[in-house]
Structure formats: structure tokens, C-alpha cells
Amino acid sequence: EVQLVESGGGLVQSGGSLRLSCAASGFNFDAHWMNWVRQAPGKGLEWVANINRDGSVKHYVDSVKGRFTVSRDNARNSLYLQMNSLRAEDTAIYYCVRDYWSYFDHWGQGTLVTVSS
């Protein structure tokens, strides 16, 4: 069974940093691109970033470029999101999402990031 378990969310002040982690199990982690998708309270879904199988290719939504960095450790079956210079508008649930031929076939339960201004 595919499992994606996020951790690392919490309350942080504006301008601060946070590192999210996602522990993957139940599938060959290094065979899949991986994504981060977020959802602000009461709002819709926003794709944030993704990373290819070996970590050499990364894409970001414009609003986080230069502030967020996605990475992975295939030996640990883990995905990460380093978030710097956080803003109030980054407040959201962050989901770790498996990529399957570019669509999103498995989602974690999410971790809540709250940025206080």
C-alpha cells in the first residue's frame, strides 16, 4: 500500500523558515517524480513544486521561486521542502503527492503550515 506521511509543519513568524518532510513507503520511491501541493484554509489546490526521479530536475510555481527548495533522498525514501522567507500567504496545508505519468495518483494527509504576521 502506498503511504505518504508529511511532517514538519507548524507555526512560524513571517520571514522565518521551515522544512517539511515526506516519508514514502509501499512503492519504488526512486521510480517516481514527486510533488508538493498546497491548500490555503478554505481555498482550492495550488501546485507548488516537483522533482524528478534522481533530483536533477525541479520545477516551481512562480510565487515560491527563490524561496522554496524541493529535494529528495532516495536512500531514505524521503521528499523535502525547504521553505525560507515565509509569508502570510504561504499559510496552507502542504500535501506530498506522487506523480504518475504527470498526474497525481497518491496524496498524503498533509501538514499544516501557519505563518503569522
Which positions lie near other proteins, rule CB under 8 A? 35, 44-47, 50, 59-62, 95, 100-110
Whole-number Å distance between alpha carbons of 83 and 17: 5
DSSP state of 89: G
Give the nearer residue to other proteins in terms of CB position, either 73 or 105: 105
| End-to-end C-alpha distance for the chain, whole angstroms | 40
Closest distance of CB 81 from other proteins, Å: 15
Query: Least separation, in Å, of the C-beta of 13 and other proteins?
Result: 27
Which residues have a Cβ under 8 Å from the Cβ of 65 and sit 6 or more positions away? none
Residue 89 CB partners (closer than 8 Å, separation 6+):
40, 63, 115
CB of 52 to other proteins, least distance (A): 13
Minimum CB distance to other proteins, residue 12 (Å): 22
Q: How far is CA 112 from CA 27, 38, 82, 83, 101, in A?
A: 25, 9, 14, 13, 27
| CB closer to other proteins, 20 vs 110 | 110
Q: Which is nearer to other proteins, 12 or 46 (CB)?
A: 46
For other proteins, the closer of residues 16 and 31 by Cβ is 31
